Amino acid sequence: MERNEIIKYLPYSYPFLFVDELEEINEDGVKGNYTFAESSFFYQGHFKDNPVTPGVILTECMAQIGVVSLGIYLLRNKDLSRLKVALSNIDIDFYIPVLPGQKVMVNSQKEYFRFQKLKCKVEMRNKEGKLVCRGEISGMIIEDE
């Protein structure tokens, strides 16, 4: 399966798809990126006259690239149209803001994938390589009956 073919199987679409490109992917992890468009809906009120990307959106971006994309890759031999995903746990620390128009890179390393639960160490950096946030994200990836 090609890296960017995985994006087609993600259960998200505009305006809630936060994956532009998967740069690398293998059994142990994934690297990808996303650029936050200045016109994104969440900047309209977060914060007044000083827009910053909400932490929940940064977390979602890391989950889409670092857990869901990796899960699809790991289950690529299954019927991908029947896969369902759900966030099960997050523990993220935030260090610097992401402003409108900024590109971020996400790097995820699999800790384990067993009993349909995928747990990853995930970090996000800006284009200057500065650490934006990092932590652990877990999700359940199951095949619909």
What residues are labeled active site?
46
Share in percent of the chain as helix, strand, coil (round to 5)? 25, 40, 35
Cβ neighbours around 27 below 10 Å, total: 9
Distance of CA 127 to the CA centre of its chain: 16
What is the distance between the alpha carbons of residues 44 and 137, in angstroms, rounded to a whole number? 27
What does the block give as tokens for 26?
Answer: 């293998």
